[in-house]
Chains A and B, each alone.
Chain A
Amino acid sequence: MNVLEPRLAKLALKGDQQAFAELVDLYQDKLFHMAYRMLNSRQEAEDVVQDTFLRVYKNLDRYDDTLKFSTWIYRIATNLCIDRLRKRRPTYSLDAESNDHEGLDGYSMIPGDNRTPESEMLLSDTQRIIHAAIASLPPKYKTVMTLRYMQDLSLQEIGDVLEMPVTTIKTRVHRGREFLRKKLEHKL
């Protein structure tokens, strides 16, 4: 087990801001990419990273040494992402006419910079198809698969992050993979 991170956490708890800055340096980009892949929005991903570190800082005294630091911080970040996904408003159709503004439809309400999630990303056509397939996974599989594919986390660690038994994670990874296989069968 990595001893550096618990030690940094202990120093930070004693008020050493430099130690905390090192923890931020270690995890900020990893967390950003994880959050971005879950939320597909840069703004939201940055917010999640910020919230995660704030929570980590406030709860340093509750950090339990028996847990890997990475597991703990991913757990906090994942939960924040899942909260945001839950809170998201149902999507509205752009073609529907707005009730409040006559003659205006959804397109006219989009801000000028045109940063809808899809256009934010640089993906090849094949990757878009795969991304759409992953996005269409039922939520409980989506989280597991996202963690499985992007981090070098073992199934056990994913279980620790999501606070689920490893057998559940295994089943979900298997089903999720089969789901993707069926979706992509004729497209790969």
Chain B
Amino acid sequence: MNCNVAIVWMHDYLDGELPREDIAALKSHLASCPACRSRFELLQKTDAAAFQTLEAIKPAAGYDKKASEQLTQRIMQQLPKQQSKERNRFVRFIYRYPGVTAAAVFALVMLGSFFTMWEEDNKLIVAGEDLQQVVIEGNTVIVPEGAHLTGNLTVENGTADVQGKVDGNVTVIDGELNLASTGYIAGQSRTIDQALDWFWYKVTQTFGGSAR
């Protein structure tokens, strides 16, 4: 056997990783090679001494049972409380999915305002720039013949009966728009009935309004 191979095997043997059949081969080599034998003995001694020394390294001011128990106590005391851990899990979720969180908050707020707006919806609401000339009879909003409205007219939950002239847009939500033969609308006239349309109208009005 080559001595270089034998040296590698010596280390493997000391690491407990040399296969049994190779141990026999190593032994027979050691028996025939004095240089390797003395090297192996020294390595073995070094290994044992280092092992022993590290085993012996202990603090002089004894790390005894009492010190150990004190340390255990300190470890257990420094642990964070369970409650904050629970909250951490929630906070961690928010950090992990910021998009989902933002979307959830947005949806919640929009839903809330949607419902409050929906509930207000049973009353007749009339909005416009020039309301003095408008006549309201029960659920009907009348622009009388000969009247001339400057600006827009919006009617919610009612019927708009346009007999005169309107310069701007006429919007009717959840109601009807009657345009008399004498009536004239310069802008757009719209009737909104469905919830989605209504919602979209609210959103565009809210954002358009705030952007202005």
Mark A residues whose CB is within 8 Å of B.
Answer: 15, 17, 20-21, 24-25, 28-29, 32-33, 36-37, 40, 42, 45-46, 49-50, 53-54, 57-58, 115, 119-124, 126-127, 130-131, 134, 145-146, 149-150, 154-155, 170, 173-174, 177-178, 180-181, 184-185, 188
Contacts and interface: CB of A to CB of B under 8 A. Distances in A.
Given A28-B71, A119-B60, A170-B15, A50 B53 contact: no
Nearest to A134: B50
Interface of B: 8, 11, 14-17, 39, 42-43, 45-47, 49-61, 63, 68, 71-72, 74-76, 78-80, 82, 85
Q: What DSSP secondary structure best describes chain B's contact surface?
A: helix
Contact of A174 (B11, B39, B51, B82): B11
A50 B75 CA distance: 6
Contacts of A134: 50, 53-54
A28 B74 CA distance: 12
B76 A24 contact: yes
A60 B47 CA distance: 37
Given A119-B60, A122-B58, A49 B75 contact: yes
Q: What DSSP secondary structure best describes chain A's contact surface?
A: helix
B11 A37 contact: no
A114 to B, nearest CB: 11
Contact of B55 (A15, A29, A150, A177): A150
Given A124-B56, A131-B57, A155-B17, 17 more contacts: A15-B82, A20-B79, A33-B58, A36-B57, A36-B59, A42-B63, A58-B80, A121-B59, A149-B54, A154-B16, A155-B15, A170-B15, A170-B17, A174-B8, A180-B46, A185-B42, A188-B42
A37 B51 CA distance: 12
A122 B63 CA distance: 12
Contact of B71 (A17, A50, A58, A188): A50
Nearest to A133: B50
A183 B76 CA distance: 43
Contacts of A185: 42
B79 A54 contact: yes
B67 to A, nearest CB: 8
A130 B53 contact: yes
A33 B17 CA distance: 26
